[in-house]
Each structure stands twice: as C-alpha cells, then as structure tokens.
Amino acid sequence: MGNLTRYFVGFLAPLALLGWLLPALAEEPAAAAKPSTGTFTGEITIGKADAPVTIIEYASMTCPHCAEFHIKVLPALKEKYIDTGKVKLIFREFPLDGVALRASMLARCGGEAKAYPFIDILFRQQMSWAGAEDPMAALGRIAKMGGMSQSAFDACLADEALMKQLVQGRQTGADKYDIKGTPSFIIDGKTHGGDLQIEEFDAILQPLLPDA
C-alpha cells in the first residue's frame, strides 16, 4: 500500500484529504492492480433494471442521516415504488472519512449478491461500529458474522485499486452533480439534498411516472 493511501485511511481522515488524495492517485501508473477477485465494482442497484424512474443515492456509511433514510424512509420507498417496478435505486458511495471508506470497501468485497445486504446491516448497526472506540475491530466482528475470514478482511482493506475507485466515484459525484453532503439524491437529473421523507419523494416521483 502506497504512503499516500496509508496516510488517508487513518481512522479519522478529514474530508479535505479526499480532494487531495484523488489527483495524487491519478498520477499512479495505468497498470495499477485490479480489485481483488470476487470484489464487486459495478453499480449497486435495487429494483428492476427497466424501471422508468431512477434514483441515484450518494451516501456515506458513517452519516447518521443516511442511516436514518435506510432504516425509516427506504422501506416505504421500496414498498410504494421499487418493489412495484416503478423506480430503481442506485447506491453510490460518498465517504466522508476514512472509516466510511473502509466500510464501503467491506460491503463490496463480499461480491455483488452481498453488497447491498451488507450496506443495510452496516447502516442498521451504525452506532455499534462507527461510534466504537476501535471502529476497525467492530467492523471486523460484523464482517466475521457475515462469513468473511480475517484474512479476507485484511485483504479487502488493503485493496488499493478498490479504494481508488471509491475515492474517484466520490469526486465524480461532486463534479457532476455538485454533491456537497449526504444523503443526496439525483432524480430526473436534479440533485436533492437533505433528509427527504416519503411525502417529499411522493411529490418528486409521482409526476415522473408514466401514468402520471
């Protein structure tokens, strides 16, 4: 692991450091290592692929408002729109600190089928690991409960290619959609930030549906 990356993934890497790290990583040779075998690097999506409306969510795993959305709002959104085939949701990482970055890496290291379920578990148990004295040890315990061995856990956190992908994805969100905080939602090309409730999603989504 390079010195720049090792410095970044300190337990509480400041937000400003993300912007500093990206151009530094971009200077690395094009032949940089690929993410580990089994690691999912595609879009994390829930809902039918041909749903007429898409929500892109940018979230940080250590963001309490993001956890609140996943626990309190997303179930209603799924019931009304996602499970009925009207909307699909694309989850994109926007890590606000080093702990959030590592949590996002772990969610992807289990493969495509486990990525979103792992994200859901991490949000539901957020206080047990994000607020722990040793967040990495707490994440390790959750990973072990999910069937990840210690060696796989260590290899995941050492995956510099995956780390670079997530940091670049964060920068893309900031550049393309002007994401400044989490959670943020891109719907019909417009960025909606803050703690949207189901009633606010109703007002945004209903006019976009084919039968509106």
pLDDT at 37: 55
What's the DSSP call for residue 208?
A: G
Give DSSP secondary structure letters for 6-55.
HHHTSTT--HHHHHHHHHHHHTS-TTPPPPPTT---S-EEES-TT-SEEE
pLDDT value at position 194?
A: 87
The pLDDT of residue 146 is 87
- Residue keyed to tokens 């061995």: 149
For the entire predicted model, the pTM comes to: 0.84
Q: What is the Cα–Cα distance from 165 to 89, expressed in whole angstroms?
A: 20
C-alpha to C-alpha distances, 115 to 46, 57, 78, 91, nearest whole angstrom? 11, 15, 17, 10
Q: Report all structural domains of the chain as residue ranges with CATH numbers, in order of start.
A: 42-208 (3.40.30.10)
pLDDT at position 19, please? Answer: 45
- Spans in the chain with pLDDT lower than 70: 1-37, 212
Predicted pLDDT of residue 211? 80
Q: How do strand 87-93 and strand 53-59 relate by DSSP bridges? A: parallel
Asked whether the bond before 64 is cis by omega within 30 degrees of 0, the reply is: no
pLDDT of 29: 39
How is the chain split among helix, strand and coil, in percent rounded to 5?
A: 55, 10, 35
pLDDT at 38: 81
Distance (Å, whole) CA 25 – CA 2: 10
Residue 155, token pair as written in the block: 């290899």
